[in-house]
Amino acid sequence: MSPVETLPNQRAAQAPPASGDVRFPNTSVPVVVLKAEDYGALGIVRSLGRLGIRVYAIDADSGAPALKSRYCAGKFIWNIDAAPAEQSVQFLREVAGKIGGHPLLIPTGDLGSEFLAAHGQALRPAFRFPAPPPGVVHSLYEKKRMYSLCKQFGIPTAETSFPQSRQDVMSFLDSAAFPVVLKAIDPWRLQQRTGVRLVIVKDKGKLLESYDRMEDLEHPNLMLQEYIPGGEDSVWMFNGYFNERSECLFGITGKKLRQFPAYTGMTSLGVCLKNEAVEKNAKDLMQAVGYRGILDIGLRYDARDGLYKILDVNPRIGATFRLFVATNGMDVARALYLDMTEQPVPPSRSIEGRKWFVEDKDLISSLQYHRDGTLGFGQWARSFRGVEEAAYFAWDDPVPSLRPARSLTRYLSRWLRNRKLHLRSVASRSSAGRQAGI
C-alpha cells in the first residue's frame, strides 16, 4: 500500500452564499471527509466548500465524484477498508499534519464511522470530532442491541426475533405472520457474503430457502422482523445533529417517495415533511443513550396501531442528508461544523415539500416500478415537482455527475437491448402460434 498521495488545491472554488443562507463567522478550520465513495461525501464537500471552508477527501478510488468536485481542496488516496487499522491511524495523522489547523474529521458509511468509534482516542490529538460514550455507536449499528435499547426505553420499533439456528426458525414458523423481513444484524457482513442486506419473504418455503442461503451458521447474523404494511410513502426519516448533552441542535423529518432497489432500499426520491412523532422518537432515543453527533434514522408508519416504528439507526451522516436543508441553508454537516468549532448553531426551520433525488438510481428504480404497473409516465413526471437538488449534478459543479451519467447510459443501453430482444421473442412466438393455427 502506497503512502500518502495528495493533490492539493488550496484555492478550491467558493460560491457566494445563497440568499437566506446563514453566514459562518469562522471558516478557518479545515475538514477531512473519510471514505468519499458516495454522493453523501460529495454533498459534504459542496455544502461546506461553498462557504469557503477547505474540505479534503479520502478514498481508495481517485475517480470518486467527491474528489472531482471544484470545491474539493485536495484528495488523499487510501483504502481504509483493506489497510491494517494501525496503518490507517498513522495515515490519518499524517493527513492532519499536512493540512494543519486541527481539522474536523467526518466519516461516511458504516465502516468509516465504526473505525472512528474504535480508534477515536488515537486520532483525537490530530482531529476534532464528536465523541459519543464508548460503545454507543456500535450498539446503535448492531440491530439486536438497537432493538433492545428501543424496548428498554419504550421507543416503538418493529417486533423482531433473533434465531441462532435453523431449529429456531422452524419454531418461529409456528406462529409466523407473513410477509416477514429477513435482514442482517450486521448489514455489512451480510452484504459481503451475499450481496444483499434484506429480503421480504411471503411464505414458509421461501423463508427457509432464504435463511439457508444467507445465514452464516458459525456466526449467526440474521434476524426475523415483522413486515409493516404500506408503500414507500409510509417510510419516514429523521436527520439531525446532537451536541455533547445529547440536545438536538438541528433536526428535520421527511419521507421516502421512491427507493433503490425498489421497495426495500435507500432513498432515490425523498421529500421534507414535518412529523413531530417521528422527531420525538428519534430525540427520545438519543437522549436516553447519550448520543452525540450526526444521526440518520429510518422509521415506518404502522397504520395498524398508528405508531411510527424505528427500523434502522445510523449514527453517522447519511447519504441522503442534502434532502434535509432548512430555510437558512443549514444541514447536519453545517451544524456539526459550527458546534465543533465552538460557534452557535442557529435555530432552523425545514422547507416543507422540498425534494431531492439520486439521478441514476431513481431512474433505474422508476423503470422497475413501471414494469410492476405502479408508476405511470405522467405520475413519474409529476413526482419531480418540488425537486430542488440532485445528488450528483449541480450547475456550479457539473464534473462529478459525469461518472454516474456514464454508468446510467450503459444501464439504459443494456435495458433497451434486452427490451428489443424480449419484444422480438414475443413477436416470434405470436407468429409461430398464428401459423400453427392455420
Domains and CATH numbers, the chain: 31-129 (3.40.50.20), 159-226 (3.30.1490), 232-390 (3.30.470.20)
Lowest mean pLDDT among 32-36, 162-166, 236-240, 260-264: 260-264
pLDDT at 3: 42
User: How far is Cα 259 from Cα 87, in angstroms, rounded to an integer?
Assistant: 37
pLDDT band at 315 (very low <50, low <70, confident <90, very high): very high
Query: What does the pLDDT look like over 277-286, one tens digit per residue?
Result: 999 999 999 9
pLDDT band at 164 (very low <50, low <70, confident <90, very high): very high
The stretch 90-116 carries a mean pLDDT of 94
72 and 353 Cβ atoms separated by less than 8 Å? no
pLDDT at 30: 98
Question: How high is the mean pLDDT of the chain?
Answer: 90
Name the DSSP class of 22: P
pLDDT at 188: 74
pLDDT at 387: 97
DSSP strands (E only) in 185-306? 198-201, 222-226, 235-242, 248-260, 266-272, 293-302
pLDDT at 415: 72
Q: Is pLDDT above 90 for 11?
A: no
The stretch 9-34 carries a mean pLDDT of 74
User: How far is Cα 296 from Cα 146, in angstroms, rounded to an integer?
Assistant: 14
Query: What does the pLDDT look like over 112-155, one tens digit per residue?
Result: 888 999 999 999 999 999 988 888 998 998 889 999 999 999 99
pTM over 0.85: yes
The stretch 186-195 carries a mean pLDDT of 79
Beta bridge partners of 387: 355
Percent of the chain's residues with pLDDT above 70: 91
HSE of 244 in the Cβ direction (CA atoms, 13 Å)? Answer: 6
Q: Where are the alpha helices (DSSP H) in 155-196?
A: 166-173, 187-194
Q: Cβ of 72: how many Cβ atoms within 10 Å?
A: 28
Beta bridge partners of 238: 253, 297
The stretch 276-296 carries a mean pLDDT of 96
pLDDT at 1: 40
Query: What does the pLDDT look like over 65-87, one tens digit per residue?
Result: 999 999 999 999 999 989 999 99
User: How far is Cα 162 from Cα 421, in angstroms, rounded to an integer?
Assistant: 44
pLDDT at 427: 63
Assess whether the previous peptide bond of 179 is cis (omega < 30° from 0).
Answer: yes
Assess whether the previous peptide bond of 163 is cis (omega < 30° from 0).
Answer: no
Pick the more confident residue, 430 or 252.
Answer: 252
User: How far is Cα 390 from Cα 393, in angstroms, rounded to an integer?
Assistant: 6
66 and 24 Cβ atoms separated by less than 8 Å? no
pLDDT at 12: 60
The stretch 18-35 carries a mean pLDDT of 85
pLDDT at 18: 55
Nine cell digits for residue 259: 427507493
DSSP strands (E only) in 6-71? 31-34, 55-59
User: How far is Cα 349 from Cα 11, in angstroms, rounded to an integer?
Assistant: 32
Q: Is pLDDT above 90 for 406?
A: no
